[in-house]
Structure 1
Amino acid sequence: MTYYPDLTTYEYDASGQEMLNVGWLTPGHAYRTGIVDDRVTDALKALSSAYDNQMRGVHHCEFCSTERPVILGGPALDTQVWLGSAEIRARGADGTVYSAPNLVIHYIAEHRYCPPVEFCRAVVRTAGADTTDELVLSDD
């Protein structure tokens, strides 16, 4: 997978939609680690079944030997979703759109990746989850 620093302009495909990158990780590039609020991971799982920008190939995690992660996702968290071939997109309250590879769920769960707070807020908002309480994110 191509590496893009968080919150840089999305250029992965020629969709023409203005978006910002989040979670395009590769070894050799440091990333923020920490604890991510469960509402964020639940929201990412809920959004994961949309399969935005679905690709034909599969990208495997470059940080571990996991073949191809699978999660329970979708609105009811009861749909089998394979990670590594699609994106998750979220819109912030200010209209900013973020795009992350759906492997971001695996990166958070298994490699302690801590995405930018603005992305986390957008994901929770897009999934329709409660955003009245401040999200809990902490650096290692």
Structure 2
Amino acid sequence: MTHYPDLSRYSYDESDQEMLNVGWLAPEHDYRKGLVDERVVDALRALSVGYDYQMRGIHECEFCGTDRPVILGGPALDTEVWLGSAEIRVRGADGMFYAAPNLVIHYITEHRYCPPEEFCRAVARTVGIEPGEHLTLAE
């Protein structure tokens, strides 16, 4: 998978909507680590079930070599979802769109990746969660 810095302009595929990148990680690049509110993780799991923005090919985790991690996702968090071949896109309150590989869930839960606060707020907003003051705590 290609690395893009967080909040850089999205250019992975053609889209007529301006978006920002989140969670396009690679081992040779440092990333922000910390804690992410469990509500954000559950919201990402809920959003992952549709395999929206399916891409060609499958990407394994380059940090631990896990091939196609599987999570429980969907509204009831009871549907098997394979990670590594789709994106999750969300819209922030300011209208900005964010695009993340669905592997972002694995990166958060297994590698302590801490996405930008504005992305976490957009995720929460998308599923109807009223976020508190902070949804992330970076180290």
Conserved? CA contact 1:48–1:88, under 8 Å: yes
Partner of residue 128, structure 1: 128
* 1:138 equivalenced with 2:130 (yes/no): no
TM-score where L is the length of structure 1: 0.95
- Equivalent residue number for residue 90 of structure 1: 90
Find the aligned partners of 1:129 and 1:80 in 2 and give their Cα distance: 23
What root-mean-square deviation, in Å, do the aligned CA atoms of Structure 1 and Structure 2 show?
1.0
* 1:8 alignment counterpart: 8
Partner of 2:88, secondary structure, is strand
- Once the two structures are superposed, the pairs formed by residues 1-140 of structure 1 within 5 Å of their partners are 1-131=1-131, 133-140=132-139
Moved more, 63-72 or 96-105: 63-72
Q: Which runs of 5+ in 2 are unaligned?
A: none
Moved over 6 A (4+): none
CA-to-aligned-CA distance 1:32-80 (integer Å, 9 cap, x gap): 0001110110110011012221023100000002121000111111111
Return the letter of the residue paired with 2:91: R
Letter in 1 for 2:25: L
Contact 1:50/1:88, CA 8 A, preserved across alignment? no
Structure 1 gap segments, 5+ residues each: none
How many angstroms does 1:128 deviate by?
1.6
Give aligned pairs, total.
139
SS, match of residue 40 in structure 1: helix
Distance in 1 separating the partners of 2:18 and 2:33 = 27
**Aligned partners of 2:127, 2:49: CA distance in 1, in Å?**
12
AA in 2 matched with 1:86? A
Counterpart secondary structure, 2:81: strand
Q: What are the superposed Cα offsets for residues 78-110 of structure 1, whole Å, 9 maximum, x if unpaired? A: 111100000001111111100000000000001
CA distance in 2, matches of 1:91, 1:17: 11
| TM-score of the pair, normalised by structure 2 | 0.96
